[in-house]
Amino acid sequence: EAGVAQSPRYKIIEKRQSVAFWCNPISGHATLYWYQQILGQGPKLLIQFQNNGVVDDSQLPKDRFSAERLKGVDSTLKIQPAKLEDSAVYLCASSFLGGGSDNEQFFGPGTRLTVL
């Protein structure tokens, strides 16, 4: 079974530029998550999708971050314009269902963003 795919793996941009990340979850997984992991910290949830609907985006900085999952499969996360403090690893995860206690999440390799 293929895992969660993410691209690109690395991205370096200058502040005020825009950037987009792509994620393809495990086939059949209805729930998709984007996390931000700043160096030395644990991942922090940015947004959760259930199929193509948003379950929670309360921690997404909506003035500069946006995400979509139009067909309920793959997803893109965009930052426009980027700030220095956005330098982090952006992790995508998926799980089979949002409900039920056995909701194991599987993570992709992440995209490491450096903002100069």
24 part of the interface to another protein, by CB under 8 A: no
Q: Which stretch binds another protein (CB under 8 A): 16-24, 33-41, 66-74, 79-87?
A: 33-41
Q: Which stretch binds another protein (CB under 8 A): 22-30, 71-79, 80-88, 104-112?
A: 104-112
By CB under 8 A, name the one of 21, 95, 113, 115 that touches another protein.
95
Q: Nearer to another protein by C-beta: 44 or 83?
A: 44
Nearest CA to 49 out of 21, 86, 74 is that of: 74
* Burial class of residue 27 in the structure, from the number of CB atoms within 10 Å of its CB (0-12 exposed, 13-18 middle, 19+ buried): exposed
106 part of the interface to another protein, by CB under 8 A: yes
| Cβ neighbours of 39 (radius 10 Å) | 8
Rg (CA), the chain: 13
